[in-house]
Amino acid sequence: METETNMEEENINPRNKFKSLKDKVSSATLAAIKGMGFKKMTDIQAEVLPEALDGFDVVATAKTGSGKTLAFLIPAVEVVLQCKEKQLEGTFCIIVSPTRELATQTYTVLQDLIAYHENITSALVIGGESRKRQSAELATGVNIVVSTPGRLFDHMRTKEFDYRNVCCLVLDEADKIFQYGFEEDLKQIINRLPKDRQTMLFSATQSERTEALIKSAMKEKVHNINTDEDNLMATVEGLKQGYAVCETEFRLWWLDKLLKKTKNFKVMVFFSSCKSVEFHHEFFIKYCQASVLCIHGKMSQSDRTEVISNFYNAEKVALFCTDLAARGLDIPAVDWIVQFDPPADANEYIHRVGRTARGMGAEGNAVLLLRPDEIEFVNYLKESKIYLDKYESWDKLANLKPKLDAAMSDPQFHQLAVEAFEGYMRAFEVKKLKHIFNLLTMDVDAVARSFGLKERPDVDVRIGFSKKHRPRKRIAAMLADKSTGNKRIK
Asked if 371 contacts 438 with a C-beta cutoff of 8 angstroms, the reply is no
Adjacent-strand bridge partners of 478? none
User: Residue 73, interface with ligand ADP (CB under 6 A)?
Assistant: no
Q: With 0-12 CB in 10 A as exposed, 13-18 as middle and 19+ as buried, what is 243? A: buried
Listed ranges 33-41, 205-213, 228-236, 256-264: which one lies at the site for ligand ADP (CB under 6 A): 33-41
Residue 66 carries which side chain, given as an amino acid letter?
Answer: S
User: Residue 404 and residue 479: Cα distance in Å, rounded?
Assistant: 28
Nearest CA to 53 out of 31, 24, 29 is that of 24
Residue 385 carries which side chain, given as an amino acid letter?
Answer: K
User: Residue 42, interface with ligand ADP (CB under 6 A)?
Assistant: yes
- Residue 241 partner contact from ligand ADP, Mg ion, none using kind-dependent CB cut-offs of 5 to 8 Å: none
Asked if 71 contacts 60 with a C-beta cutoff of 8 angstroms, the reply is yes
Nearest CA to 414 out of 424, 423, 404 is that of 404
User: Residue 68, interface with ligand ADP (CB under 6 A)?
Assistant: yes
User: Residue 358, interface with ligand ADP (CB under 6 A)?
Assistant: yes
User: Residue 67, interface with ligand ADP (CB under 6 A)?
Assistant: yes
User: Residue 374 and residue 436: Cα distance in Å, rounded?
Assistant: 6
Using CB under 5 A as the binding rule, the residues of this chain from 32 to 71 that contact Mg ion are 68
Q: Is the dihedral of CA 379, 381, 387, 390 positive or negative?
A: negative
Listed ranges 68-76, 149-157, 252-260, 296-304: which one lies at the site for ligand ADP (CB under 6 A): 68-76
Nearest CA to 68 out of 97, 32, 94, 91 is that of 97
User: Residue 359, interface with ligand ADP (CB under 6 A)?
Assistant: yes
Q: How many CA atoms lie within 13 A of 31 on its CB side?
A: 7
Q: What is the CA radius of gyration of the chain?
A: 24
Give the nearer residue to ligand ADP in terms of CB position, either 227 or 322: 227
Instruction: Tell me how far, at minimum, the Cβ of 157 lies from Mg ion, in Å.
Output: 28
Instruction: Tell me how far, at minimum, the Cβ of 42 lies from ligand ADP, in Å.
Output: 5
DSSP string, 256-291: HHHHHHTTTSEEEEE-SSHHHHHHHHHIIIIIH---
Instruction: Tell me how far, at minimum, the Cβ of 106 lies from Mg ion, in Å.
Output: 8
Neighbouring CB atoms inside 10 A of 180's CB total: 9
User: Residue 114 and residue 80: Cα distance in Å, rounded?
Assistant: 11
Listed ranges 87-95, 295-303, 355-363, 378-386: which one lies at the site for ligand ADP (CB under 6 A): 355-363
- Residue 95 partner contact from ligand ADP, Mg ion, none using kind-dependent CB cut-offs of 5 to 8 Å: none
Instruction: Tell me how far, at minimum, the Cβ of 45 lies from ligand ADP, in Å.
Output: 6
User: Residue 38, interface with ligand ADP (CB under 6 A)?
Assistant: yes
Q: Is the dihedral of CA 263, 267, 271, 273 positive or negative?
A: positive
Instruction: Tell me how far, at minimum, the Cβ of 122 lies from ligand ADP, in Å.
Output: 17
SS3 category, 195: coil
User: Residue 97, interface with ligand ADP (CB under 6 A)?
Assistant: no
User: Residue 267 and residue 315: Cα distance in Å, rounded?
Assistant: 10
User: Residue 358, interface with Mg ion (CB under 5 A)?
Assistant: no
Residue 147 carries which side chain, given as an amino acid letter?
Answer: S
Instruction: Tell me how far, at minimum, the Cβ of 65 lies from ligand ADP, in Å.
Output: 5
- Residue 98 partner contact from ligand ADP, Mg ion, none using kind-dependent CB cut-offs of 5 to 8 Å: none
Q: What is the contact mask toward ligand ADP in residues 325 to 344, using x (rule: CB under 6 A)? A: ---x-x--------------
Listed ranges 155-163, 217-225, 354-362, 378-386: which one lies at the site for ligand ADP (CB under 6 A): 354-362
Nearest CA to 25 out of 104, 92, 111, 116 is that of 116
- Residue 360 partner contact from ligand ADP, Mg ion, none using kind-dependent CB cut-offs of 5 to 8 Å: ligand ADP
Q: What is the contact mask toward Mg ion in residues 319 to 338, using x (rule: CB under 5 A)? A: ---------x----------
User: Residue 489 and residue 179: Cα distance in Å, rounded?
Assistant: 32
Give the nearer residue to Mg ion in terms of CB position, either 328 or 343: 328
Instruction: Tell me how far, at minimum, the Cβ of 330 lies from Mg ion, in Å.
Output: 7
Give the nearer residue to ligand ADP in terms of CB position, either 102 or 439: 102
- Residue 353 partner contact from ligand ADP, Mg ion, none using kind-dependent CB cut-offs of 5 to 8 Å: none
Give the nearer residue to ligand ADP in terms of CB position, either 41 or 166: 41
User: Residue 66, interface with ligand ADP (CB under 6 A)?
Assistant: yes
SS3 category, 354: coil
- Which run of H or E residues covers position 292? strand 292-295
- Residue 266 partner contact from ligand ADP, Mg ion, none using kind-dependent CB cut-offs of 5 to 8 Å: none
One of 21, 52, 58, 70 touching ligand ADP (CB under 6 A): 70
Give the nearer residue to Mg ion in terms of CB position, either 173 or 374: 173
Using CB under 6 A as the binding rule, the residues of this chain from 44 to 63 that contact ligand ADP are 45, 62
Instruction: Tell me how far, at minimum, the Cβ of 270 lies from ligand ADP, in Å.
Output: 17
Adjacent-strand bridge partners of 366? 241, 337
Residues at the interface with Mg ion (CB under 5 A) = 68, 328
